[in-house]
Amino acid sequence: MQERGYYDRFGGAYLPEILVATFDELEAAFIEARRDPAFWKTYADLMSSYSGRPTPLTFAENLTRQFGGARIYIKREDLNHTGAHKANNVMGQGLLVKAMGKRRVIAETGAGQHGVATATMAAKFGFDCTIYMGEVDVLRQRPNVFWMERLGATVVPVKDGSRTLKDAINEAFRDWVTNMDSTHYVLGTACGPHPFPTLVTYFQSIIGQEARKQVLEATGQLPKRVYACVGGGSNAMGLFSGFLDDREVELIGVEAGGDGLGTSRHAARLAGDDASVGVAQGYKTYFLQDADGQMRETHSVAAGLDYVGVSPILAHHKESGRVRFEAATDAQVVDALALSMRQEGLIPALESCHAFAQAFAEAGQLTPEDVILINQSGRGDKDIFTVADAFGDPAWEQFIKDKARQYGA
Ligand SMILES: *Cc1c(COP(=O)(O)O)cnc(C)c1O
């Protein structure tokens, strides 16, 4: 076991000896890339031609009028190819894989969004691609599995344990240990052993770099408050990194409050006091765990926020006080979605709606002199089943019944 890459008392790389050389190789490739000014340009050009960057900044005029407080601006990461900020990370890692001369990528995915993004990157770069997914998730997320396979990836259903995300993570590590020479493990968020939290944040920082410039251009001032949802923490770290040095800008990370922080059904690791510091999956952070260190079941209406750990960099920013953490409940999130659709014609992902809900709750505390910025981390098209269910749409239920009959279910 080795320890390195700490953010204050969080992070590190708790690795089996056999993986140490592979992490050294990855860190060396990352350090080399970061030192080379041509690398960022290659990355930004790729994101521009392939993923529509820079993504726009939208003034939410109607919502601003409704709350009568701060002027609300929205950073549109939903307009990336594959529909979320995840593209920034996977395409960046694709360039590193090329630099390391590897030919194969693996990833694990729960809801399937990171799997689709990785399979897309692999197709674009010509890499072989294997995606590990718990068997339960494979059944729950058929549309994403379908797209991954069409994109040329092999999707492996993991039948161990609870047959969900954490079992898929174990299986992906097992693959990596066997195939380190040819294979890179594309981690999906700013978690995991060093250097992943730094590396993923580096690629996602393109969000904050653009957003800071765009807000200044649009309003001539910095935002008073900046909101992002927090699953593993990559879109939040990406946006926040544009403003970390602006001490007057308040940064707010919004976690999944699920049924409420007073219940056991949520995924708030930093907003409440349910989580405790521990080491799991190769790094040290706040985990939702019981007294014996067993990981707890988490819950959120947004699958992308439904995770027991959180970025060690955000854990550090919580303790330093630089970032404030809040939680939005499932009910608040569905309300925020309804409002965003009706008022602005935007369909933010349920994950992103956590940031929207918190910003909506606070906008009226500020004045029209103030500007606030919300990250729309992804688009909500993927949530159609969940949202139709939440809104209780009878025509939709009939549609599903008819389809089931058509396919003999
Ligand atoms: C995956 C996902 C998230 C959560 O991941 P972070 O690493 O916390 O950013 C948030 N929003 C969307 C749209 C996602 O797809």
Last residue of a domain, one of 196, 227, 245: 196
Residue nearest atom 10 in ligand 1 by C-alpha distance: 351
Residues 223 and 190 in one domain: no
- What six digits make up the tokens of 59? 């003034």
Evaluate whether 224 touches 258 at the Cβ level (below 8 Å): no
Q: Is 272 a member of any domain?
A: yes
Tokens at 328, concatenated: 């939005």
- Pick the closest to residue 333 from 362, 364, 300, 369 (CA basis): 300
Residue from 113, 141, 351 to probe ligand 1 pocket by mutation (most atoms less than 8 Å from CB): 351
CB contact burial 294-307 (16+ within 10 A = b; e otherwise): ebeebbbbbbbbbb
Last residue of a domain, one of 196, 222, 240: 196
Is 362 a known active-site residue?
no
**Would you state the pLDDT for residue 4?**
67
Instruction: Please give the pLDDT value at position 2.
Output: 40
Choosing from 75, 86, 224, 318, which is the catalytic residue?
Answer: 86
Q: 39 near 50, Cβ under 8 Å?
A: no
82 lines ligand 1 (CB under 6 A): no
**What per-residue confidence (pLDDT) applies to 408?**
79
Cβ density class 149-182: b for 16+ within 10 Å, e for less: eebebebbbbeeeebbbbbbbbbbbebbeeebee
Q: Among 154, 178, 196, where does a domain finish?
A: 196
Query: Which among 205, 311, 352, 377 is annotated as catalytic?
Result: 377
Same domain, 76 and 37: no
Do 158 and 248 belong to one domain? no
**Residue 31 belongs to a domain:** yes
Helices (H) and strands (E) in the chain, counts: 15, 14
d(CA 154, CA 132) in angstroms, rounded, equals 9
Compute the distance from residue 349 Cα to the ligand 1 centre, in Å.
9
- Residue 398: inside a domain: no
Q: What is the pLDDT of residue 1?
A: 36
Give whole-number Cα distances, 276 to 26, 182, 190, in Å: 30, 37, 19
Q: Is 344 part of a structural domain of the chain?
A: yes
How high is the pLDDT of residue 87? 98
Q: Which of 108, 171, 326, 344 is catalytic?
A: 108
Whether 274 is covered by a domain: the verdict is yes
Domain for residue 335, yes or no? Answer: yes
Range(s) of the domain holding residue 322: 54-83+205-390
227, containing H or E segment:
strand 225-229
Indicate if 147 and 175 belong to the same structural domain: yes
Q: What is the full per-residue pLDDT of the chain (409 aa) written as tens digits?
A: 345 689 999 999 999 999 999 999 999 999 999 999 999 999 999 999 999 999 999 999 999 999 999 999 999 999 999 999 999 999 999 999 999 999 999 999 998 999 999 999 999 999 999 999 999 999 888 999 999 999 999 999 999 988 888 889 999 999 999 999 999 999 999 999 999 999 999 999 999 999 999 999 999 999 999 999 999 999 999 999 999 999 999 999 999 999 999 999 999 999 999 999 999 999 999 999 998 989 999 999 999 999 999 999 999 999 999 999 999 999 999 999 999 999 999 999 999 999 999 999 999 999 999 999 999 999 999 999 899 999 998 998 898 889 889 887 6
Does the beta carbon of 351 lie inside 6 Å of ligand 1? yes
The CATH number covering residue 176 comes to 3.40.50.1100
Other CB atoms within 10 A of residue 24 CB: 14
Known catalytic residue at 86: yes
Residues 164 and 307 in one domain: no
Please tell me the total count of domains within the chain.
2
179 and 285, same domain (yes or no): no
Ligand 1 centroid distance, CA of 189 (Å): 8
Domain annotation covers residue 404: no
Q: Report residue 74 as tokens.
A: 């929205």
Cβ neighbourhood burial of 128 (10 Å; 0-12, 13-18, 19+): middle
Residues 250, 371, single domain; the answer is: yes
Same domain, yes or no, for 222 and 136?
Answer: no
